[in-house]
Structure formats: C-alpha cells, structure tokens
Amino acid sequence: EVLQSIREVNENSSVHGLIVQLPLDSIHRIDTEKVTNAVAPEKDVDGLTSINAGKLARGDLGDCFIPCTPNGCMELIRQTGWRHVLYDIDISRSCVPKCIDRLAREIGLLSNEVELYGKTKAKVHLEAIDRLRIQPDGKYVVVTGITPTPLGEGKSTTTIGLVQALGAHLNNNVFACVRQPSQGPTFGIKGGAAGGGYSQVIPMEEFNLHLTGDIHAITAANNLVAAAIDARIFHEATQSDKALFNRLVPLSGGHRTFSPVQINRLKKLGIEKSDPSTLTEEEITRFARLDIDPESITWQRVLDTNDRFLRKITIGQSPTEKGYTRTAQFDITVASEIMAVLALTSSLEDMKHRLAKMVVATSRNGEPVTTEDLGVCGALTVLMRDAIKPNLMQTLEGNPVFVHAGPFANIAHGNSSILADKIALKLVGPEGFVVTEAGFGADIGMEKFFNIKCRYSGLRPHVVVLVATVRALKMHGGGPSVTAGMPLPKEYTEENLELVEKGFCNLRKQVENTKHFGVPVVVAVNAFKTDTEAELQLICKLAKEAGAFDAVQCTHWADGGAGAVELGKAVQKAAEAPSNFRFLYDTELPVVDKIRIIAQKIYGADEIELLPEAQHKVHLYTKQGFGNLPICMAKTHLSLSHDAEKKGAPTGFVLPVRDIRASVGAGFLYPLVGTMPTIPGLPTRPCFYDIDLEPETGEVIGLF
C-alpha cells in the first residue's frame, strides 16, 4: 500500500516533492530502504534515495537534493559568519581517514607494492617505479614562500589546500609530497608540520611523531659512523701495524679473508690483491691505517631533539679510552648527511653508492676518508633499507600524500625525496599534478630545489607557487616585533596599506628569484581573518606587476580545498604556459664563482668574503676532486642576507663565508654563512608542556 501511494505521487505532475517520514510507523515489518528508494530521485527532497545519497557522497552537489536540516545549518553558519575554532588535532580527529590499503588501490598501487603500518600509513616499495616506467609524468609544482617571519606564512597548509582543491574540487589526479618533520621543533617551539586547519595531513599525531621510524633509522646509521670514526682512531693509536691488520682481517678456519668492503679499499689504494697473506709490510700499513687527523673530522653525532647543551661537548672522558679525548658536538638528526642522501637518492643501488662515498674526515696526508674506508657503508645500507621506501598518508579530503625525508632547508637542502616525487608523478599520469614543498623562503629551499634536487632528479617543474601573507609583509615593511603568547600589535590587526606596500619588496625579490629559473610563478596570498580586502587586493595587484603569472587570495585554512579552488585554477593555467627552465649556474665553475652567483643573484649581495678557513676548504676540496659539486648554502632563513635582523630586501652587503664543508655522498658543498647552530635549543616554555596522553582513550593531546 505504501509503495502504491508513492508511485501515485511520483506520477502526479502537480506534486513536486515527497518526504517519507522516518521511522516508518506500522505494526507490520516494512523494508525502509525499499520504501525510500521507491521515491523518484527528482522528487526526493530529503535526499534519502541511494541515487541522491550517492551523488552527495561523490560531491555532485549541483545534481542532487541535499538533506534540508544539515543544509539549513550550513546556510545559517554562512549568513552569520560564525565559526567554531578548533585546534588542528581536533580537526584531524573529526575526519575518519580511509583505510590506507583502500587509498593505495584507488591511486593505482598493487597490493604487493604496499607495506602496511597500521590502518593509516604505509610504505611503498620501489618496484612501483619499474612497473610504471613507461607511464608519462604528471605536472610538477613546487610551493615556496617569502622570507619567513615569526608570524608564519602557511606553506605547508597551502601545499595541502592546493592538493585538496586540485583533487577533490577540480577533479584532477593529484599527489602531495612533503617532508617528515623533526621531533625537535615538534616538542620545541614550532609545533607540528602537517599543515593546519582544514588543510592538513592526517592523522596529524602519526605524521608529527615517529611515523614509520625513518628518522630513527637515520639516527642509528649516523651514530654508527661516528662510533666507527673514534673507535678507529683509538685502535690505530694503541696497536702496531701488524696487530691492527690481524684484527681487521682475523683468522677464520685457519686463514684470513678480506671482506668485500676491504677489497674495495685495496682497489682504492691501487693494491690489486685479494689474498691477505700476499701483502707487503708497506701495503699492510697503507691498508690498516686511515691515519685520520682528529682536527679534520666533519662527522658529528645526531639526536632528533632540541638540546642546546650538545652543541659543544668533550668525548672520551672515561679511563678506558686511555686519554683519547676530543671536542665534538651533536647535530639534529635531520641535518645528517644521511638524511640528505635519502632525499636525493634515485634507487637502492644509488643510495648504497652514496652512503659509501660520504667523507667523514681527512687523513694527515690530505686524503679524504670515507665511510667505505671505515668499512661501515654496507651496514648503513642495511639500517636504511626500509627508510628508502616513501610513506603513504592522506589529506583531510582523502588525497594521497607521500611523506618522505626531512632535511632542514637552512643547514641542508630542505626538500622531500626524489623517489617520492618520481613515483607520484607516474601515479597521477600526464594530466595529473604532483605538489611538493620547498623549505623556508624561495631564496633557501626553492633555490636548492632547482639547483640541487632537480639537477639530480632530472625532473623539470611546471609551476612555482609563492606563498605570502599580509601580516608577514607588514613585518618586512618595518612592523614591530612580536612575542610568542602575546597579542599582536595593532599594525598587524588593522588595515595599513602603507606598511604592506613597504614590505612588498621582499615578495618582489622572491618573484624575481623564481624568474631566474624560467618557471611561471603564481602568488598565493594566504588570507587571515584580520586582513582587509584592500590589503589582499593590493598584494595581488603588485605581484602581477612584479611579473607573477597570477596572484590569488586563498582561505584554505578555514575552508579546506574549497578555499584554494581559484589557486588551483591559476596553477592549472600556469602549467600550460611556456616554461624555459634553467639552472642558475654551471657546476663546472670554480667553487667561489658558484657561491658568488647565488649571493648576488638570489640574496642581493654586492660581493662575498671568504674567511681563511673557507679559503683553505676551497683549495682542499678542489684538490680532492669535489670542486664540481653543486652548492648548498647554510644561511639564516630569516633574512635574504646573513643578518637575521635585516627584513625586507636588503642590498649593499658583503656575504661572509666562514667555512665550507663537503657532503660528498649527498652530492654538494655547503658553505657556512655567519654563525648558525646545527641543533636547536629549547625555549623557556617548550611545546611539550601541553603534550600528554589520555590514558583511557590512548589519544595524544596538545599537539598543534
């Protein structure tokens, strides 16, 4: 009887809508789904039929009825402008993520290419690259920003918001590729790095903490090298040549045998022998003694914690070390060369080769000492065998994200892994997009993205997205300093077009820096609630006049992908525009010339000044054959210059280079500009004050 009544209404042209009141009130058992699906979809004003509910779930909002009660609530929110402010972790938990194996299937990965780590994260095997080898690559987009300020610019949030816009709202295949954050800043002052608001990687506590253990693997591998260096110096200092050789090549079954890594050392020394008993005394000495100069050691121990008291330490204090002490230090793990190797490697074989080439010190006769010389390179590859696989996660709106590698951008090259980018570019296909983020400002992370990462990957980007905010430009224009935890001065919360225009010099310089590489740049103005329309429009106008392909306002923190749709459209158009990608310098140029080009063209310096130690290293590394490596400047991220206090776009300065070090395995030289700690310290009130675990639910609280 009910079905007959529904059919009559369906066929009655004078009735435009029908609501089935639930629950069905009857003494008889009635199939609710059968009744609701009997309603003609075009008259189903409650949106309960499978057709309307399916279209709603798929996002076809213009082609279905939306249930009136939640739709009315959303309309009330829009009309009143009311928004309940949630913490990032609350927003993250409000969304139930897809099971990661389902996401892997959706993006085209096979089950044997995915290694599950619970329900929300997985590692992807490198065999996927081989299977997808003939698949054309998608469009390659890098997100960078103006020179950072304590007010924040929102590069990570913009990266995720753009991916959500391109995918969930503009129906493209899309992938985000981001770095894994260090736990130092997570528990220190910065907090997490999963994005924020309604544009973040989820679950954010998994993202910001251990993830799948890659950083711990790097810590273990790095410190194994450090232990090997000091142990080797100790044993060489306390043993004769013969005793040292006999212990390095011990008797087994009545005879001695070289290990493969020792055979490689013999070949490096020009000794073409494989039988230990045939070595002469002179060959035994050359083989057994690395003769490391302790003053030349560049390899430090690492820890993924902010700890200022490890910046300078003395090791070897125990009586068992027989008086062998030296001054050393700790770096933060993400500054380790092994992290840079992970980010720049192209295969397991390539990683093994790079790990073996890492130079840790110089011998007393001026020869570079490598991890292969120490015999530890094979063990490093074993420790890193799982870390090389990219980690798969997702955005709040269900888009795939690779989280892989996490080198800092001020003391390393500051970009996620080449392997993750390459797999993602194959998976999205020729019409899809891969969006990656370069650390800190365009003068730091983007310059290294182009000159180091793209040089080794062979990939060519289609678009640069340059993120700016009104309040950050106000600070570059001379706005007052801010103090964490204190209210913002009125200059940042009230309209001030003059201050915005003064600070625009920094954005103009970063647009200019982008254009050095011949890639179209789209400026994303990340809007905050205190910004005025006049301020936002002024930035967009000035950015276009400065040569940006386009400049658009974004509200992705508050609105998710919907708030970055215009940015997504601008990126799509820019990706079709002509591009004339080029490197900033030829690696065959002398080391000093490469440093000068970066300083003058990217930073705006008049000249560079090499202090005596830097001059010595230029001579040493050129002599050792490392002079043709790209340059990775280690410089403050808080200014275009070497002085963190100089905001805007300073000019007329001389850039001082106090030292140069070699990351031969990673494949770059890194000049040290000014003084810069390689392990951060904790502030007076670190983030860990607010971080805790809820025992009953097992939930992490206090992360942001």
Alpha-carbon distances of 510 from 26, 342, 639, 673, rounded to whole Å: 70, 28, 12, 20
Cross-strand partners of 74: none
Q: Which of 179, 389, 509, 647 is catalytic?
A: 179
Q: What is the DSSP letter of 98?
A: P
Q: Which of 120, 157, 469, 678 is catalytic?
A: 157
Can you read off the two tokens belonging to residue 248? 């390095």
Nearest CA among 293, 290, 262, 264 for reference residue 276:
262
Q: What is the DSSP letter of 197?
A: T
Q: Is the peptide bond before 489 cis (omega within 30 degrees of 0)?
A: no
Burial 172-188 (b: 16+ CB within 10 A, else e): bbbbbbbbbbbbbbbbb
Alpha-carbon distances of 443 from 469, 504, 562, 602, 617, rounded to whole Å: 17, 15, 30, 6, 24
Q: Is 572 helix (H, G, I), strand (E, B) or coil?
A: helix
State the Cα–Cα distance between residues 319 and 93, nearest whole angstrom.
53
State the Cα–Cα distance between residues 622 and 595, nearest whole angstrom.
14
258 counts as catalytic: no
190 counts as catalytic: yes
Task: For 117-167, give the DSSP string.
Answer: SSSS-EEE-THHHHHTTTSPP-EEEEEEESS--TT---HHHHHHHHHHIII
557 counts as catalytic: yes
Side-chain half-sphere exposure of 472, counting CA atoms within 13 A:
24
State the Cα–Cα distance between residues 329 and 682, nearest whole angstrom.
17
State the Cα–Cα distance between residues 666 and 337, nearest whole angstrom.
6
State the Cα–Cα distance between residues 592 and 60, nearest whole angstrom.
58
Q: What is the DSSP letter of 292?
A: B
State the Cα–Cα distance between residues 307 and 64, nearest whole angstrom.
57
Alpha-carbon distances of 482 from 152, 490, 492, 647, rounded to whole Å: 12, 11, 10, 14
Supply φ then ψ for residue 137, to 5 degrees.
-75, 155
Q: Which of 220, 356, 409, 634 is catalytic?
A: 409
157 counts as catalytic: yes
State the Cα–Cα distance between residues 194 and 174, nearest whole angstrom.
18
Q: What is the DSSP letter of 564?
A: G
Q: Is 370 helix (H, G, I), strand (E, B) or coil?
A: strand
Q: Which of 330, 449, 528, 668 is catalytic?
A: 528
Q: Which of 155, 301, 448, 596 is catalytic?
A: 155
State the Cα–Cα distance between residues 163 and 401, nearest whole angstrom.
9
> In this structure, are residues 613 and 661 in contact, taking their beta carbons and an 8 Å threshold?
no
Q: What is the DSSP letter of 487?
A: P
What's the per-residue H, E or C state across 218-279? Answer: HHHHHHHHHHHHHHHHHHHHHCCHHHHHHHHCCEECCEECCCHHHHHHHHHCCCCCCCHHHC
Q: Which of 299, 440, 449, 549 is catalytic?
A: 440
Q: Which of 557, 626, 653, 668 is catalytic?
A: 557
Nearest CA among 578, 577, 570 for reference residue 162:
570
Residue that is written with structure tokens 């929300």 in the block: 120
- Residues forming the active site: 155, 157, 179, 190, 409, 440, 528, 557
